[in-house]
Amino acid sequence: MASLSRALRVAAAHPRQSPTRGMGPCNLSSAAGPTAEKSVPYQRTLKEGQGTSVVAQGPSRPLPSTANVVVIGGGSLGCQTLYHLAKLGMSGAVLLERERLTSGTTWHTAGLLWQLRPSDVEVELLAHTRRVVSRELEEETGLHTGWIQNGGLFIASNRQRLDEYKRLMSLGKAYGVESHVLSPAETKTLYPLMNVDDLYGTLYVPHDGTMDPAGTCTTLARAASARGAQVIENCPVTGIRVWTDDFGVRRVAGVETQHGSIQTPCVVNCAGVWASAVGRMAGVKVPLVAMHHAYVVTERIEGIQNMPNVRDHDASVYLRLQGDALSVGGYEANPIFWEEVSDKFAFGLFDLDWEVFTQHIEGAINRVPVLEKTGIKSTVCGPESFTPDHKPLMGEAPELRGFFLGCGFNSVGMMLGGGCGQELAHWIIHGRPEKDMHGYDIRRFHHSLTDHPRWIRERSHESYAQELLRRLPPR
Ligand SMILES: Cc1cc2nc3c(=O)[nH]c(=O)nc-3n(C[C@H](O)[C@H](O)[C@H](O)COP(=O)(O)OP(=O)(O)OC[C@H]3O[C@@H](n4cnc5c(N)ncnc54)[C@H](O)[C@@H]3O)c2cc1C
């Protein structure tokens, strides 16, 4: 068992060596493939008791010959979009998942949901996700999604940060989000294991919490199916059919799979890090890159039970409650690209690069000193998609009528999933979203930029790293 402090020492002495297990050299720009599955902290993962790829077994049910909408991808975004399409009354909606639901990025998410962000639209989107996973799905299906409401705590290590949190509190008030600014002493009472010596204060949001990826997606799929939608697993989409109308406008005609095709006027690309590949099938540029994103799960910590999740923006680290342990993660200054996105990847993880990850450990130990002597139970490093301005890609692609994007979620695709799934469904049915989604609309990028791989790569890398430095006022 390695402790966090040992991880710090090992990384300093032998930058490329894992303190939890032997690890070969790994370049910062890595083309390395996924490793064998590691211990991921969910009780109910969809992978349990199953072999590796199931695609060879064929689709989980027969394909219909026609559909009003085909959603590609059964992760957070695909399942949320399908559910909201069905809920808004869309008939003939079909979701095609290459492998099994959640097998891409979603299965290993940390699942944190903070209700406060410095944008009124985002506060509304987050509120909708929370409503869906904490109440509506359970009322509709009788199933618990795995939502845990343990609260959230934002850390302010300087006066400016605390002022930003006070502004967030005011914004939250307008939307009915309960939050409290706490003094260091009050914070210590709430979270006795926390070091508060260097704190100006904290923002406590009691109704924040954590989503369970498998529980959320299976319940969404169940609820959507009950409303007439179809979920078909083990069915990779291999092509998009396009036709050109009398005015020269390119339009979606259908999707192709190894098991037959579906005629449809509308496709939604919710394929996560594979969204660029799906876009290429349709001649649509999807400006995102795949990068490694990680957290580690500690051994048991006495006294941590029922503590809120913690986000320390200055240290760029989060501490997520994981039963009687913590998950520790954050945004690194030098994130690693996944160069060759493999379509064989399902329920997979990468080896953690400790040299990259170590920067989070010092901040975590400073905030909760008991971590220095706490062991690391598992590492979770998976692929996630990132975009040039750190905002998702949504809406109809300008190159192809009927081809919608719901991808590029920059590590917040669980918490934004419900709100964005609802907006996307509205966009498809009514031709526009209900909220002002300009900041997420794919049309914000001129085609000279979506056609510029080097710009996309460098800006996305920079935007990820800047999350570390980014401050909270509206951008
Ligand atoms: C370590 C880590 C921690 C995170 N923590 C948080 C967090 O605390 N809170 C939060 O909100 N977000 C978090 N995220 C981000 C969040 O998990 C993702 O944004 C979200 O899961 C992405 O969902 P998705 O549906 O876009 O993609 P995915 O889950 O990858 O789903 C895409 C699906 O498309 C399928 N697919 C691909 N190609 C095809 C094809 N040709 N045909 C059919 N299907 C196809 C794939 O198999 C996959 O299942 C974290 C991410 C990581 C990596």
Q: Render pLDDT for 384-417 as a digit per residue (tens, 0 to 9).
A: 999 999 999 999 999 999 999 999 999 999 999 9
Q: How far apart are CA 320 and CA 152, in angstroms?
A: 9
Neighbours of 475 (CB within 10 A): 11
Residue nearest to atom 37 of ligand 1 (CA): 271
| CA-79 nearest atom, ligand 1 | 25
| CA-281 nearest atom, ligand 1 | 41
Q: Ligand 1 centroid to 185 CA: how many Å?
A: 39
Q: How far apart are CA 210 and CA 146, in angstroms?
A: 8
Backbone phi and psi for residue 430, each to the nearest 5 degrees, phi listed first:
-105, 0
What average pLDDT does range 317-345 have in this prediction? 93
Q: Ligand 1 centroid to 327 CA: how many Å?
A: 18
> How confident is the prediction for the chain on average, in pLDDT?
89
Is pLDDT above 60 for 8? no
Spell out the domain ranges in the chain.
2-45+149-206+289-386, 55-109+213-288+389-462
Q: What is the pLDDT of residue 456?
A: 96
Containing 10, the helix (H) or strand (E) segment is helix 4-13
Q: Ligand 1 centroid to 106 CA: how many Å?
A: 4
Q: How far apart are CA 106 and CA 474, in angstroms?
A: 28
Helix residue spans in 88-206 (DSSP H): 120-131, 137-141, 159-174, 184-190
The answer to whether the CB of 208 is under 6 A from ligand 1 is: no
The answer to whether the CB of 433 is under 6 A from ligand 1 is: no
Give the distance from CA 146 to its chain's centroid. Answer: 16
Place of tokens 């994981």: 322
Residue nearest to atom 20 of ligand 1 (CA): 413
The answer to whether the CB of 336 is under 6 A from ligand 1 is: no
pTM, full prediction: 0.92
| CA-271 nearest atom, ligand 1 | 34
SS (HEC) of 238-272: EEEEEEECCCCCEEEEEEEECCEEEECCCEEECCH
Is pLDDT above 90 for 464? no
Q: Above pLDDT 70, what percent of the chain?
A: 86
Place of tokens 């690693």: 336
Lowest mean pLDDT among 6-10, 33-37, 177-181, 399-403: 33-37
2-45+149-206+289-386, which class in CATH? alpha beta
Q: How far apart are CA 179 and CA 307, in angstroms?
A: 16
> Who's near 453: CB < 8 A, 6+ residues apart?
none
Which tokens belong to 243?
């036709």
Q: Ligand 1 centroid to 271 CA: how many Å?
A: 8
The answer to whether the CB of 97 is under 6 A from ligand 1 is: yes
The answer to whether the CB of 98 is under 6 A from ligand 1 is: yes
Given CA atoms 446, 449, 450, 451 in this order, what sign does their dihedral have?
Answer: positive
Q: How far apart are CA 89 and CA 440, in angstroms?
A: 24
Q: Ligand 1 centroid to 157 CA: how many Å?
A: 32
Which tokens belong to 163?
């002022």
Containing 319, the helix (H) or strand (E) segment is strand 317-322
| CA-73 nearest atom, ligand 1 | 34
User: Do residues 343 and 274 touch, judged by C-beta distance below 8 A?
Assistant: yes
Q: How far apart are CA 432 and CA 367, in angstroms?
A: 44
User: Do residues 102 and 95 touch, judged by C-beta distance below 8 A?
Assistant: no
Sheet-wide strand order for 260-263 = 237-244, 250-257, 260-263
Helix residue spans in 285-407 (DSSP H): 354-357, 359-367
| CA-237 nearest atom, ligand 1 | 42
Q: Ligand 1 centroid to 384 CA: how many Å?
A: 7
Helix residue spans in 330-406 (DSSP H): 354-357, 359-367
Q: Which CATH architecture has domain 55-109+213-288+389-462?
A: 3-Layer(bba) Sandwich (3.50)
Chain segment 287-301, per-residue pLDDT in tens: 999 999 999 999 999
Which tokens belong to 342?
């493999």
The size of the chain, in residues, is: 475
> Who's near 445: CB < 8 A, 6+ residues apart?
287, 388
Look at residue 15 and give its three-state secondary structure: coil
| CA-96 nearest atom, ligand 1 | 43
Q: How confident is the model at residue 140 (pLDDT cuts 50, 70, 90)?
A: very high
Q: Ligand 1 centroid to 439 CA: how many Å?
A: 20
Q: Ligand 1 centroid to 293 CA: how many Å?
A: 11
